[in-house]
Structure 1
Amino acid sequence: MNTVSPKVLSIPSPFAVNGVIKVLEAPDADPSILLNRLLDGRYEKPYVVDDGHSRALYFSFSFVQSAMRLSQPNSLELAYTRKMMSFVLFAPQPKSILMLGLGGGSLAKFCHHHFPDTQITVVEINPDVVAFRDEFKIPPDSDRFRVVLSDAALYVASCAASFDVIVTDAFDKDGFASTVCNREFYFNLRRLLAADGLLVANLAGRREERKVHLKMLGDFFNERTLAVPVGRDDNHIAIAFNNRDFAPCWQTIRRRAKALSRTFDLDLEKFAEKFARSEKNAHRQ
């Protein structure tokens, strides 16, 4: 029997004038049925909302997974992605980056654009997320950039490489992916870090879950962890340092923030102050 392979199908969006919702379905799929499933939360695949000015990746309408401005596809639209890139305050020229979670590729594209000499590996478990790669203008695989379809926990468990920076942003529609919620995962992350490497983690979701992940970070990196909230959102960004002797010189970091803010078009001076306060508050506890 012949089957029709799924592809990116556009259906009119009920939320934006001239907007569309893009789904991974066969061309002959019934748009009205798909729209009803999307609206009542029964649709199980990721999807894209395109209003002609921006594209956003969703797992459900309650949470924007990733966003891209069509006129500036390499910029960072969401606050948490901008704050995650504050790792450049501590590692301004990484030779290698491992990213766990692709989403709409915001961080991957930003690093690909700003670090032309850096080896970037991105691991994504969901083939449907990878299928939207072209919609979000994610670069093709090359000798310095590749997207690997794999479970993040399995990948880091078997990986033998070393990375200057590891970025974790591994979520599914229910929050933290279950395979990254254990001590073995964090043990392997630290094992893969270079001696002076750092880990930057997006800790979204419920407060109880966030505390569990912060506890595991603290266990493996001792007091070499900084964490700051993202605006009024629930998520926090944490940076953990592998070097046991690392002690940030905030005067140097403030100077670096001022120099790099224009290069990256990020408010790194503000981020530096927030991380400095985070360290002071940690020492007071």
Structure 2
Amino acid sequence: MKLYALPSPFEIEAGTVLMLEPEWARAGELRAQLLDESYPKPFVIDDGESRYLYFNVRLMQSQMSLKAPHDLALRYTQKMMGFLLFHPRPRRIVQIGLGGGSLVKFCYRRLPGVHITAVELDPDVIALREAFSVPPDDERLNILCADGAEFISTTEKGIDAVLLDAFDRNGYAPALASRDFFAQIYAKLSGSGVLVVNLAGDKETYAGVIGRIMEVFDDQVIVISVPDDGNHILYAFKERHFEPRWRWLNNHAKELRARLGLDFPAFVHKMERASKLNYAQREALRGR
């Protein structure tokens, strides 16, 4: 698909804006809509080194390095892969919220034994998949235009990891914040399955989410911060009587770093510290 291109009208985000518009679209009208945030579709900014997905210029959704399009450019996406410390060889992953496809591409390329289903509500986000080098569907990858909650309610059990990274132009998607939704995820996870949630934007948009997940997962939850990106990453574990073996995980993290190139030892350190400080419980109380 050929995208409509115009010079970025933004003072800070320089480069070229790529848009899902016909070639006869009026540049002046599009520029005005971008600036007053009335433009209704997602768009891409290409600065020559990276491509960024935006719903509006205040909330960047994804980043892809043009030199390394299959790497995880943002720290929060790297830390979402921390679930591999507890489930190192998943067979089935479901991602809710496609974005620029960073997690999908990484899992597809670096975890050859896994089947990935990505569920995205907005067809315009899916329409930008080629701009972010997301591979075509095949026997290992399926990208669906569907409601994430409806998909979870109807899909088969046995998911090893659910990666929840779903946002609209206002922040965390409110339709994916209910206790019933998290209970459905719990029911569909495998016995050692993990839910991973990216929490970003204004905290008011995801207030109460941590507490609801803790209730469903019997407090078997770890939350870490990602200061560089202003995010929090939540891991919830279905395994009964979950008890992390931190010394073993530190050794295991070194093996994962060698295999996948991410700083898993640093992930373990943050998780252990957050767990001992009861960070998830404190954040849950703040969300009440």
TM-score, structure 1 length as denominator? 0.93
| C-alpha distance after superposition, 1:202-247 (max 9, x if no partner) | 1113234444110011101112100011115442101010011221
Residue 17 to residue 270, structure 1, CA distance change in 2 (3 Å): closer
What is the 5 A alignment of 1:109-188? 109-188=105-184
Provide the rounded CA distance (Å) in 2 between the counterparts of 1:109 and 1:65.
Answer: 15
Pairing 1:10–2:5 present:
yes
Amino acid at match of 1:250: W
Cα deviation for residue 17 of structure 1 reads 10
CA contact (8 A) 2:75 2:228 kept: no
Provide the rounded CA distance (Å) in 2 between the counterparts of 1:232 and 1:120.
Answer: 28
Please give the secondary structure, in 1, of the residue aligned with 2:24.
coil
Cα deviation for residue 7 of structure 1 reads 5.6
After superposing the two structures, state which structure 1 stretch, 73-82 or 203-212, moved more.
203-212
What is the 5 A alignment of 1:207-246? 207-246=203-242
TM-score, structure 2 length as denominator? 0.92
Please give the secondary structure, in 1, of the residue aligned with 2:89.
coil
| C-alpha distance after superposition, 1:47-101 (max 9, x if no partner) | 0001121100000111110000011001111111111111111111111100001
CA contact (8 A) 2:13 2:45 kept: no
| C-alpha distance after superposition, 1:165-219 (max 9, x if no partner) | 1100011111121211211110111111001111111111323444411001110
Equivalent pairs, count? 280
What corresponds to 2:42 in structure 1?
46
Task: Show structure 1 runs of 4+ deviating over 6 A.
Answer: none
Match of 1:79 among 60, 75, 80: 75
What corresponds to 2:64 in structure 1?
68
CA contact (8 A) 1:83 1:271 kept: yes
Provide the rounded CA distance (Å) in 2 between the counterparts of 1:88 and 1:195.
Answer: 15
Amino acid at match of 1:65: Q
What residue ranges of structure 2 are gaps of 5+ in the alignment?
Answer: 283-288
Cα deviation for residue 161 of structure 1 reads 3.6
Tell me the C-alpha RMSD between the 2 structures: 1.9
Amino acid at match of 1:188: Q
**Identical positions, percent:** 39
Residue 31 to residue 208, structure 1, CA distance change in 2 (3 Å): closer
What corresponds to 2:256 in structure 1?
260
Please give the secondary structure, in 2, of the residue aligned with 1:71.
coil
CA contact (8 A) 1:207 1:234 kept: no
Cα deviation for residue 14 of structure 1 reads 3.6
CA contact (8 A) 1:65 1:103 kept: yes
Amino acid at match of 1:22: L
What corresponds to 1:278 in structure 2?
274
What residue ranges of structure 1 are gaps of 5+ in the alignment?
Answer: 1-5
Pairing 1:32–2:28 present:
yes
CA contact (8 A) 1:41 1:60 kept: yes
Please give the secondary structure, in 1, of the residue aligned with 2:196.
strand
Amino acid at match of 1:112: Y
CA contact (8 A) 1:18 1:52 kept: no
Provide the rounded CA distance (Å) in 2 between the counterparts of 1:167 and 1:249.
Answer: 23
Please give the secondary structure, in 1, of the residue aligned with 2:20.
strand
Please give the secondary structure, in 2, of the residue aligned with 1:25.
coil
Provide the rounded CA distance (Å) in 2 between the counterparts of 1:193 and 1:249.
Answer: 22
Please give the secondary structure, in 2, of the residue aligned with 1:140.
coil
Cα deviation for residue 163 of structure 1 reads 0.6
